[in-house]
Amino acid sequence: MDGNTRRAGAVADLRRCRHAAAAARLVMQHTTHTLLAGDQAAAFAAEMGLPLGSLETEESRGMHSMWLNQRCQPNFRQQVAPDPRQSCGPYRPLPSSTSTSTSTSSAGDSASGSGGSSSGSAAAAQQGQQQQHARWPTAHAHDTIAMVVVAGGSVAAGASSNGAIHKVPGRVGDAAVPGGGAYADSAVGGCGATGDGDTHLSFLPCYQVVESMRRGLSPQQAAEDAVRRMAQRAPGYTGAVVAVGFDGRHGGAAHGWERTGGQFTYSVASGGSGGRVEVVAVPPLDDL
C-alpha cells in the first residue's frame, strides 16, 4: 500500500507464483483494481513478467501425506458431517447449520416440534466450539511477514503470507486485504499484522491502528487498543500488530503467543542506527 496515494494492490489464492508481494505491487502499479485472485492472478503475474512454476517441495508433499494419514488434522471446517475432527470428507453441512432463520421458539415448541433439530444444533455447537481453536497460529508456526517503511516523508506497508497450514482450499487471509494485514497513510503512519488472519478480517486491525494514530494515540497505544478489542471479542485469539508513526515512532502489541510457548517480537532498523537491527520483544497484554 502506497501511503501517499492510498492505493493498494493485492493478490489472493495465488497459484504457481512465489513472488506474491511483487505481483501485488504490479496490481497496484499497472491496474486500477485492488485485488486479483486465483488462476487469473497468476496469469496477470506471468503477463507482467514474473515466473510461474510448481511450488511443491519434498517437505510440503510429506507434510500433506502426514496430514492425510492423521485423518486431516488439524482441520478448519465446522458444523459439517462427517465429523471434521475424524474425517477427510467429503463434507456436507449439518442440518441445523443450513437455517438462516432468526426467529425465537418457546421451550415447548422446541421440545415438541424439533427434537431432531435440537440434537443437531447441540452437535453443531459442540463441534463448532471445538473447531474454533484450530491449532493455528502458534509461536513457531505462522508465516505472515508484514513491513512498514518510512522514508522521505512517505509511508508504505505490505504483507505476504502462505496462509494457514492445511486451510480450506480457496481461503483468503488478511495479508491480501488492505486494512487487515497492512495499511499505510503518509500523513499518519502504517501498520502490519500477523497471526489469526480470519479474526483480523473481522476487525481490520491495521486500518483501526492508523485511524487511532490519526486521532492522537501513540503507536504503542494504538497497537494495544486494536489487539485488546480482538482478544476481548474473539476467544482463543492469537495475533499481533506493529504500528509505526510517520515520524518513525513505533510500538507493538500481542496476545496469545504465550499459550503456544513463545513471545512475539518485531524488528526495527533505521538510518539513525546505521542500519543496525533492533529486535523488540512484546509482552502479552495482561489487563483484558
Residues in the annotated binding site for substrate: 171-174, 194-197
Distance CA 182, CA 191 (A): 5
Residue 48 contacts residue 25 (beta carbons within 8 Å): no
User: Which string of b and e fits 107-120 if b means at least 16 CB within 10 Å?
Assistant: eeeeeeeeeeeeeb
Of the listed 31, 32, 34, 144, which one is catalytic?
144
Count other C-beta atoms under 10 Å from residue 171's C-beta. Answer: 13
C-beta separation of 174 from 200 below 8 A? yes
Going by the annotation, the residues of the binding site are: 171-174, 194-197
Q: How far is CA 35 from the centre of its chain?
A: 16
Backbone angles phi, psi at 167, to 5 degrees: -65, 160
| Active-site residue flag, 100 | no
Which residues are catalytic, by number? Answer: 144
